[in-house]
Amino acid sequence: MAVRVHSWRVPGRVGRLCRTVLLILATLFAATPAQAQRPAASPRYPNVVILLADDWGFTDVGAFGAEFATPNIDALARTGVRFSNFHVAGSCSPTRAMLQTGVMSHRAGLGNMPETIPDEHRGKPGYDTVMNHRVVTIGQMFQAAGYRTYLTGKWHLGSDAGRLPEARGYHRAFSLADAGADNFAQRPIEGLYETAAWTEGGKPATLPADYYSSRFVVERMIDYIEEGRAANAPFFASINFLANHIPIQAPDSDIARYAAMYRDGWTALRAARAKRAAALGIVPAGAPMVRMATTPDWATLDRDERAAAVRVMQAYAGMATAMDRAVGRLFAHLKATGDYENTIFVFLSDNGAEPTNPFNRWRNRFFLNQQYDLSTANIGRPNSFSAIGPGWASAAASPLAGYKFSAAEGGLRVPLIIAWPGNDKVGAGTIQAGFAHVTDIVPTLAELAGVALHSGEWQGKAVEPVMGRSLVPMLGDAAGSVHGDDPLGYELSGNAALFRGDFKLVRNLPPVGDGRWRLHDLSRDPGETRDLSAAMPDRFASMLADYRAFAKANGVLDMPPGYSAADQIDRYAFAQQGRARLIRLGLWVGGTCLLVAALVWAWRRRRRRPVH
């Protein structure tokens, strides 16, 4: 900044002193902005955008094999790298904790999430059910480096003042503390939560009258980016969609787009998805796949059941397309402002597709029928409540086995795209088949953006070190995985895995599995159809020892007998419903007692009046 000292003159020593002071002040003033100014977006300090989808299966993107329209995400894939062997946790909170911190979920406090944790584990080390304060978030790291940091959408990592996004490194946030909520109104998932816990600035927030979740979280993020331009700093934006979490809801026009589709059922769709994924190079051609035992037989459904199933998948496709359109709105804005080419984009899903059937018990059906219009014609519309269930979830994961909550590949392997449109550090249109993990995102973004990672200490306090590895070598021409043959363990709700090189050791509890450990070569058999434990006993024993070491180091607890995540969600929901009923009953009884007391008091007072 140039500062001119005008040529006015005061005679004598006073004049010389004044001019000297002015020159000193001018020099300091000119130097101050360069020293205090945060770094503007530049090749060294690019903007960063994380696009986190909810419950999208492995082939739920056109660029990975989907039949529904995701043109904007597909365009991002053409400018960046698709990871076809990328793994997360089997449910949302553990993945989100690892994405935020680069630390394994048990160490971050999310060995399980509030809705699925058994009472015996609650509050034990690693089972806080919230992101603990022993970890540092990517928001905190980028904020310390001079970035403006923003978050919109689902948080699900803690709802108290010390754990909301604004307390964990985000300058601005409009966030949902729950696992999900209605997509058209400020309404919770009825029976699971009392309210939709949206907050902004750490305080309860009100959604606009024309709210639709995917559109809103993008438009609010655009508002934050524009409000922060005066800071002349790069931005870090985390956009966390509710799509396609239960309840499945989409604008009518998006549902109508798929009116002629899905009438052949989920088995046919699973086969079609597998064929497209192989043609795209996402999975090996001819890779075998299994039919999940928990997937219903389409042929056994009656006409009404099929009509409802077809409609819910049409709504699911519409919900994905509506989300993609919101992503396109963000891209268009960033192109108009000149930010697009110097922005690093990361697209991923938090886990595989959701198989839970919320109508699997009569009490659930009875309760939900009192709260929503459950008619087939209303599926996907406002005041609807629907889920795709295990049939369509198996197709969304095709050609993989399993889905959300399981440790099978369909629960853990999801689409990942990393793109930097204006920078050749990220290869355009390539597919990387090497193993990658969600904890790798933090060190990858830090390296690309030139942001320093903490080294196990933060603001004078010891914290959990970042455990992931930078994927930058895999964004270029390097083949293979940055993890090499090193083991990486995983556990959630008793379902467990150990990855090492091309191999995976896995155990799934009922109803998805039988509790036995199996060994698979994922490079040849991503569908986990062949158990190699007997053919490779030494590797099997070695990897089992690796898993036990992981479990001990991370404080993994055994599940109580008979546990299943789906049953635990039902118990949680029933407890919430019971608690809500007790509160309503208490209010009704209290109100009735007050009314009776008031009437008795008035009657007695009237009787005491003197007769004139």
**CB-neighbour burial class of residue 544 (10 A; exposed 0-12, middle 13-18, buried 19+):** middle
Rounded to an integer, what distance in angstroms lies between the CA atom of residue 473 and that of residue 467?
17
Report CA-CA distances (Å) from 320 to 70, 383, 401: 7, 19, 22
Catalytic residue among 92, 106, 121, 171: 92
Q: Are 23 and 211 in contact (CB under 8 A)?
A: no
Q: Are 358 and 249 in contact (CB under 8 A)?
A: no
Calculate Rg over the CA atoms of the chain.
28
In three state form, how does the secondary structure of 444-460 look?
A: HHHHHHCCCCCCCEECC
The CA-CA-CA angle for residues 327, 350, 284, to 5°, reads 90
Rounded to an integer, what distance in angstroms lies between the CA atom of residue 276 and that of residue 405?
25
Report CA-CA distances (Å) from 108 to 105, 125, 168, 171, 535: 5, 10, 13, 22, 37
CB atoms near residue 599 (< 10 Å):
10
Which helix (DSSP H) or strand (DSSP E) does residue 154 occupy? strand 148-154
Report CA-CA distances (Å) from 556 to 92, 127, 493, 539, 598: 18, 9, 10, 23, 57
Rounded to an integer, what distance in angstroms lies between the CA atom of residue 544 and that of residue 569?
30
Catalytic residue among 106, 121, 156, 437: 156
Q: Let me know if 18 is a catalytic residue.
A: no
- Taken in order 302, 411, 90, 57, the sign of the CA dihedral is negative
Which among 399, 569, 404 is positioned nearest to 492, based on CA atoms?
A: 404
Rounded to an integer, what distance in angstroms lies between the CA atom of residue 89 and that of residue 55?
11
Instruction: Indicate which residues carry an active-site annotation.
Output: 92, 156
